Amino acid sequence: MHLSEQAVDPPGEARTDMQIFLDYARRLNLTDKDGAPLLKWDTPEECFEAFKQITRGRPCDYTGITYERLRGSGGIQWPCNENSPDGAERLFTDHHFHTETAYTEDYGHDLVTGAAFERKDHADMNAAGRAIFKAAEYIEPNEPPNDDFPLLLTTGRTAYHFHTRTKTGRAPQLEAAAPSMWLEVSDADAARIDVQEGDIVRVESARGWIEAPARITGVREGHVFAPFHYGYWDHKQAGPDGHATAANELTMTAWDPVSKQPTVKAAAVRLTKVAPANGPAPAPTTTASAT
């Protein structure tokens, strides 16, 4: 756990998320069982103190952590309580897991369908402190390649950026290492449409298209890779200006059945050449994009 303190005051009449949240709770007149206001705190630190009490005796026990201690450290790993006053670097060193049915916080889910297990399912397993190992069989992508869209797009990252670059795009060294959008195509697929390194290609799915210079690389034949870092915020706009680069717009709406995390990961696409190269693609020459 780290402490990220407020850096600037909200501008103008804007309020912090926390102030809005508290205002909302008070207007709803939320009360505890004695009729007192449910939220008895005002500041982030007071909120943390209240939250600590919820974790007492639970796996992520924070009760030994304070703002004071966080400010004087590079972070503290929970659990931090009387038993491990300086936090714990490793969990489960005694090979005992939190799988007693009466203690566990979740009875678990089926990884394929998201079916929630009930108490009796968990009790039947009788894990009793042993770890639970889950497996799921291979499942086809939601949208396998077809005649109209014969290639499979996957989206992913470069080492230099995090998500849509709202932080890493402001670090000059990181931005210079991977400044703009590219697409990765295999030798064979590039040859089929007469594409050379750096040529501008269009990748199109049933939902949209993006255009970027092609990096001919060791990506598997039949696959196209697109980094998902390059949206439009740093062009001060919400959408493309004729040069679409946001890879997530090609993927379909789908989410993981258990975590509900949007997958934005795969789509059936077709690849076409749009214009000749102005030079090599701006892909990094290190990490996963290296040939």
Whole-angstrom distance, CA of residue 45 vs CA of residue 3:
10
Residue 110 binding other proteins, by CB under 8 A: yes
Whether the CB-CB separation of 145 and 268 falls below 8 Å is answered with yes
Residue 264 binding other proteins, by CB under 8 A: no
Number of H helices, E strands in the chain: 6, 6
Residue 66 binding other proteins, by CB under 8 A: no
Q: Which of 88, 254, 277, 288 binds other proteins (CB under 8 A)?
A: 254
CB atoms within 10 A of CB 63: 18
Whole-angstrom distance, CA of residue 16 vs CA of residue 10:
6
Of 26-34, 190-198, 223-231, 254-262, which segment contacts other proteins by CB under 8 A?
254-262
Whole-angstrom distance, CA of residue 167 vs CA of residue 173:
12
Strands 183-186, 208-217: pairing kind: parallel
Q: Rule CB under 8 A: which of 180-239 touch other proteins?
A: none
Q: Which is nearer to other proteins, 8 or 135 (CB)?
A: 135
Whole-angstrom distance, CA of residue 70 vs CA of residue 159:
29
Strands 151-156, 208-217: pairing kind: unpaired
Q: Which is nearer to other proteins, 110 or 175 (CB)?
A: 110
Q: Which is nearer to other proteins, 123 or 288 (CB)?
A: 123
Tokens of 22: 């508290």
Q: Which is nearer to other proteins, 117 or 232 (CB)?
A: 117
Q: Give the closest residue to 174 by CA, choosing from 158, 190, 188, 150.
A: 158
Run of H or E residues at 173? helix 172-177
Beta-strand ranges (E) seen in the chain are 151-156, 183-186, 200-205, 208-217, 223-227, 266-275
Q: Which is nearer to other proteins, 51 or 255 (CB)?
A: 255
| Residue span 67-106 as binding mask against other proteins, x where in contact by CB under 8 A, dash where not | ----------------------------------------
Q: Which of 25, 112, 159, 191 binds other proteins (CB under 8 A)?
A: 112
Output the smallest distance, CB 151 to other proteins, in A: 19
Whole-angstrom distance, CA of residue 270 vs CA of residue 211:
12
Q: Rule CB under 8 A: which of 128-167 touch other proteins?
A: 139-140, 142
Q: Which of 257, 264, 274, 277 binds other proteins (CB under 8 A)?
A: 257
Residue 114 binding other proteins, by CB under 8 A: yes
Q: Which is nearer to other proteins, 83 or 133 (CB)?
A: 133
Q: Which is nearer to other proteins, 13 or 140 (CB)?
A: 140
Output the smallest distance, CB 267 to other proteins, in A: 13
Catalog residues that contact other proteins under the rule CB under 8 A.
110, 112-117, 121, 139-140, 142, 252-255, 257
